[in-house]
């Protein structure tokens, strides 16, 4: 049923009007609501709860529902009735036994001491005194220490509910005394469904693509989605995708696709003309930079994920156009573009002139990206290339190759020159784990967050003068193989951490070596397909 609050003098914003009253109405958090209901039904109530998660995911909402449920005079299956005097009083804010404290503005020792003194008194009307401390990570160290003893052994009539978006800032002593619940980002589909429900209740029509676009902008936060919907409803009774983009200040998807095409064509003038047009339409350049970063991320996912449609929020037409574009640009160039845009956005936030920074970024992208406009490589040749993947990433021409150290790589040499499996096995046994590898990844993060993230979850081994990287994510090998600048930065990071110079390589396993796929035949296939090949390389 639609949420009816009756006639009021002032307009109630949607996120307040449609705030869930029961656990069953909370969207996208079953791991929290089902557990809390079971605890209430079985009378297994904890004395302190910690709700963590990003903004707008339901932490405060669940806190208020829990406060009502523990004090309700007629609870139903773990939910508050919503009709008794206690439930109505908590909703109206007239029950003083339930207090909501903002730790951002009440974060001192004296504030917590006053709370402790007040908690010693029995409730005036309700069964429990409930203290909801929002943004608890903002408390000072002294305030945490003052709260600690009370949190560990509170009076039987007191319940603490702590909420935070930054749980890593809480002391371990606080974490260990609370029952923790993690709130997840709400899926775009769930948000879009809720928006359609709200629009139906409000007598407003909303297109499905518009609801999905709002959900994507909200980034998992229901409150943000409802706030944006509130703005869109001010423009009319039929909300379209165009209205959402105008209200949110987004560039049309066609502008992002056109800008990317200009980058692919190395058309700096055309890219700057697009930026100029958007600037004249009052488009914020930092927001444009964010949208372009998201667009290149979508291209990256299309090229790397098996089912990208499951995690990319856009219309079918936009997805098809983005897929066509993704197939025409190398993955390494997409990674570079994300990196360049990310750095530009950081400079904009530090105070750089946003328009000039965006124009400079466009020129950098057009100069950096090199698109292969020749014929597409046939699918069977792509598979053969993967099987014959060159593992010797370090390609310095002035260094003579050390054939003894190549055994831990998938060799690109003809079969007659490849090391035997016995030799490779011996060198694999000689390789020792590189304990400093996590430090190397953090060092490379200073150069590029994108590159460092591609190495997350990887391990490395030291074998002679080589650092051999073992990872299931092939993106990191594509980056190092095809980008000499990033490869040099990785070697610098290793030298900084270890104090020694190493060459880079890929650690491989025995079953990765294929003896039945000669390079000569592969080159012949390339030539027969019309792809130019330099026989001297």
The radius of gyration of the chain from alpha carbons, rounded to an integer in Å, stands at 29
pLDDT single digits (tens) 488-505: 888 888 888 888 888 887
- What's the topology of domain 380-528? GMP Synthetase; Chain A, domain 3 (3.30.300)
**C-alpha of 304 from chain center:** 16
Check residue 537 and give its pLDDT: 43
User: How many angstroms separate the CA atoms of 194 and 3, rounded?
Assistant: 13
Q: What values do phi and psi take at 16, rounded to 5?
A: -85, -40
User: How many angstroms separate the CA atoms of 126 and 394, rounded?
Assistant: 71
- pLDDT over 70 for what percent of the chain? 81
Partners of residue 505 on adjacent β-strands? 468
Partners of residue 462 on adjacent β-strands? 432, 467
User: How many angstroms separate the CA atoms of 455 and 444, rounded?
Assistant: 10
More confident residue, 334 or 467: 334
Residue 6 pLDDT exceeds 70: no
Most distant pair of Cα atoms in the chain: their distance: 89
- H or E element that contains 433: strand 432-433
Q: Quick one: average pLDDT of 24-28?
A: 90
Check residue 306 and give its pLDDT: 82
Residue 98 pLDDT exceeds 80: yes
User: Which class would CATH give 253-368?
Assistant: mainly alpha
Q: What values do phi and psi take at 168, rounded to 5?
A: -65, -15
pLDDT single digits (tens) 393-403: 444 444 444 44
User: How many angstroms separate the CA atoms of 223 and 194, rounded?
Assistant: 11
Which of 336, 305, 337, 298 lies closest to 320, judged by CA? Answer: 298
pLDDT single digits (tens) 200-250: 999 999 998 899 889 888 888 999 999 999 999 988 889 998 899 888 877
More confident residue, 319 or 381: 319
Check residue 348 and give its pLDDT: 92
- pLDDT over 90 for what percent of the chain? 32
**C-alpha of 453 from chain center:** 12
pLDDT single digits (tens) 512-534: 444 444 444 444 554 454 555 44
Distance between start and end Cα atoms, the chain: 71
pLDDT single digits (tens) 249-269: 777 788 899 999 999 999 999
- What's the topology of domain 188-248? Helicase, Ruva Protein; domain 3 (1.10.8)
User: Residues of CATH 1.20.272.10 domain(s) within the chain?
Assistant: 253-368
Check residue 388 and give its pLDDT: 44
User: Residues of CATH 1.10.8.60 domain(s) within the chain?
Assistant: 188-248
pLDDT single digits (tens) 335-355: 989 999 999 999 998 888 899
Q: Across the beta sheet with 98-102, what order do the strands follow?
A: 98-102, 129-134, 158-164, 48-52, 179-182
Residue 179 pLDDT exceeds 90: yes
User: How many angstroms separate the CA atoms of 517 and 388, rounded?
Assistant: 7
Q: Is the separation of the CB atoms in 250 and 291 below 8 Å?
A: yes
Check residue 423 and give its pLDDT: 53
**C-alpha of 483 from chain center:** 25
User: How many angstroms separate the CA atoms of 287 and 291, rounded?
Assistant: 6
User: Residues of CATH 3.40.50.300 domain(s) within the chain?
Assistant: 14-182
Long-range contacts of 395-403 (CB under 8 A, 24+ apart): 395/484, 396/503, 399/503, 402/464, 402/465
Check residue 418 and give its pLDDT: 42
Helix (H, G, I), strand (E, B) or coil at 197: helix
Check residue 420 and give its pLDDT: 53
Check residue 170 and give its pLDDT: 92
Q: What values do phi and psi take at 463, rounded to 5?
A: -135, 100
Strand ranges inside 220-352, DSSP E: 238-239
Q: Quick one: average pLDDT of 184-202?
A: 91
Cα four-point dihedral sign 293, 298, 299, 303: positive
CATH code matching the domain that covers 14-182, chosen among 2.40.30.10, 3.40.50.720, 3.40.50.1820, 3.40.50.300? 3.40.50.300
Alpha helices for 72-220 (secondary structure H): 85-92, 109-119, 141-152, 172-175, 188-202, 208-218
Check residue 66 and give its pLDDT: 94
Q: For residue 428, what pLDDT band results from cuts at 50, 70 and 90?
A: low
Tokens 């502008």 locate to 255
Q: What values do phi and psi take at 162, rounded to 5?
A: -100, 135
Of 84-93, 247-256, 381-390, highest mean pLDDT:
84-93
Residue 320 pLDDT exceeds 80: yes
């Amino acid at each position: 049923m639609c949420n009816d609050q009756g006639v009021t003098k002032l307009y109630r914003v949607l996120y307040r009007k449609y705030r869930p009253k029961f656990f069953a109405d909370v969207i996208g958090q079953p791991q929290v609501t089902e557990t809390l209901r079971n605890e209430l039904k079985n009378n297994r109530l904890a004395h302190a709860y910690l709700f963590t998660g990003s903004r707008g995911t339901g932490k405060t909402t669940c806190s208020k529902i829990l406060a009502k449920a523990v004090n309700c005079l007629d609870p139903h299956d773990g939910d508050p009735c919503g009709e008794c005097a206690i439930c109505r009083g908590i909703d109206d804010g007239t029950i003083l036994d339930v207090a909501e404290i903002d730790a951002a503005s009440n974060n001192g020792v004296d504030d917590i001491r006053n709370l402790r003194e007040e908690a010693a008194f029995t409730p005036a009307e309700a069964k429990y005194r409930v203290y909801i401390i929002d943004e608890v990570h903002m408390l000072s160290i002294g305030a945490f220490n003052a709260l600690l003893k009370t949190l560990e052994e509170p009076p039987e009539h007191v319940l603490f509910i702590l909420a935070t978006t930054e749980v890593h800032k809480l002391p371990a002593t606080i974490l260990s005394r609370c029952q923790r619940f993690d709130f997840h980002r709400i899926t775009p589909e769930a948000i879009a469904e809720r928006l359609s429900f709200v629009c139906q209740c409000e007598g407003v029509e909303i297109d499905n693509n518009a609801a999905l676009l709002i959900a994507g902008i909200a980034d998992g936060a229901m409150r943000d989605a409802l706030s944006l919907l509130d703005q869109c409803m001010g423009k009319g009774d039929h909300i379209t995708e165009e209205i959402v983009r105008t209200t949110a200040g987004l560039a049309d998807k066609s502008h992002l696709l056109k800008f990317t095409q200009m980058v692919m064509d190395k058309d700096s003038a055309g890219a700057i003309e697009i930026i100029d047009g958007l600037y004249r339409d009052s488009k914020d350049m930092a927001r444009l930079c964010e949208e372009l970063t998201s667009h290149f991320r979508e291209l990256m996912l299309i090229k790397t994920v098996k089912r990208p449609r499951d995690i990319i929020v856009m219309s079918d037409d936009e997805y098809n156009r983005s897929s066509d574009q993704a197939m025409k640009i190398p993955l390494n160039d997409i990674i570079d573009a994300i990196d360049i845009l990310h750095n530009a956005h950081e400079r904009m936030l530090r105070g750089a002139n946003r328009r000039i920074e965006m124009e400079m970024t466009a020129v950098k992208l057009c100069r950096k990206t090199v698109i292969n406009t020749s014929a597409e490589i046939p699918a069977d040749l792509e598979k053969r290339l993967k099987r014959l993947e060159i593992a010797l990433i370090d390609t310095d021409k002035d260094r003579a190759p050390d054939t003894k150290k190549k055994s831990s790589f998938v060799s690109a040499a003809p079969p007659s020159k490849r090391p035997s499996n016995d030799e490779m096995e011996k060198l694999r046994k000689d390789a020792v784990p590189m304990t400093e590898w996590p430090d190397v990844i953090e060092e490379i993060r200073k150069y590029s967050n994108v590159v460092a993230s591609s190495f997350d979850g990887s391990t490395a081994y030291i074998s002679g003068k080589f650092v051999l990287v073992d990872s299931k994510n092939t993106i990191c090998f594509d980056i190092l193989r095809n980008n000499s600048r990033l490869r040099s930065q990785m070697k610098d990071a290793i030298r900084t951490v270890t104090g020694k110079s190493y060459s880079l390589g890929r650690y491989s396993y025995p079953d990765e070596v294929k003896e039945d796929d000669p390079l000569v035949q592969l080159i012949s296939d390339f030539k027969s397909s019309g792809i130019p090949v330099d026989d001297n390389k």
